[in-house]
Amino acid sequence: MVRHRPAIAAAGLLVAVVVACSPANTSPAQSATAGPTAPSVTASPTATAIARRSPAPLQPVRPSDLVVRIDTLGETCCPATAVVATVDGRLITRADDGTLVERRLTAGGARQLADEVIGTGLFDRDRIVGLDPAPGVAPAPHAISVRTFRVWTGARTVTVSSPVVAQSDEKLYRPSAAWTQLDALAARLLAPESWLPVTAWSVATSRPYVPDGFRVVVSTEQVGGSQPDVSAVDWPFTIPIADLGEPLSASSQIFTPVGPGTKPLRCAALDASDAKAARDAIQRAGAGVADFPDGAFSTGLMWKAGGSGIVLFFQAVLPDQSSCADLY
């Protein structure tokens, strides 16, 4: 998976560009001042200043907490998480409308899901499953979607990627056994209710996923329009907005749909309460916020003191993530 940084020249363009490259890019563009609000960070009408504090760290997770994760990368843009299952029974899947929903497995159900994945024999090593043209066929070069599986095998996390081919193009390629098996496994994991028994579920009904926290990517770049100045934000933390987090390395695979900026991107992990406090402060200052179906949101602020602007992208973390140091 690669990191994408589409350019953003102004606050008015920020919304359109980020929505177009958001993890749910099939959703219609939303205004920075309208649209559904992420459930865990609804703006508060309270306008009183609060004492500044240090952000609280997220509860750490270990690689062994993961059962399986599936991410997809579209032909032209943007990774999107399709499935995450963890050993404590949390099962998050992406609905057709781009929202994330959660169900709960019992301990036995989580083990059964893990056995289903490991039992395929597909995750004995890291690999990339390629495509071979069908006999006598020379497909024209074109972009192809990719599906990436991350699986905890009991010793380490194994990563396997395979192409996702449109049905109209399937005749152009000779399907390998691994490609066919991975496609079938993805379908089963996206609809586990079709094969897991009733006893495997502690909560079988889907409900909106409420994240424990957010990764906040901060980019210093030009912001126009009517967004307020950074100085107008009653920021709740002792760390200034421009200095929030740590520099994000160029090799990071964290998806960042913001512009290239004039300085290295920075990234911080905030728990849900701190993310709500940050959003409340930004909106009290009069800034527009763009919400995405999967709970992410973004905004831009003027920065007259720095002669530029600041763009912030809040990405909801999933149960197998807890920091900006995560590999994805």
The sheet carrying 90-94 orders its strands as 127-128, 157-164, 145-152, 66-73, 79-86, 90-94, 100-105, 201-208
pLDDT score recorded for residue 28:
25
Average pLDDT, the chain: 82
Q: Which residues of the chain have pLDDT under 50?
A: 1-47
Q: Is the dihedral of CA 250, 255, 258, 259 positive or negative?
A: positive
pLDDT score recorded for residue 317:
95
d(CA 136, CA 173): 10
Can you give the pTM of this predicted structure?
Answer: 0.81
Contact between 40 and 208 (Cβ < 8 Å): no
Contact between 170 and 163 (Cβ < 8 Å): no
Task: Assign 152 to helix, strand or coil.
Answer: strand
pLDDT score recorded for residue 309:
92
Which residue segments constitute the domains of the chain, with CATH numbers given? 11-59+212-316 (no CATH), 63-208 (3.30.1560)
pLDDT score recorded for residue 210:
96
At 222, list the tokens.
């030009």
CA atoms within 13 A on the CB side of 213: 20
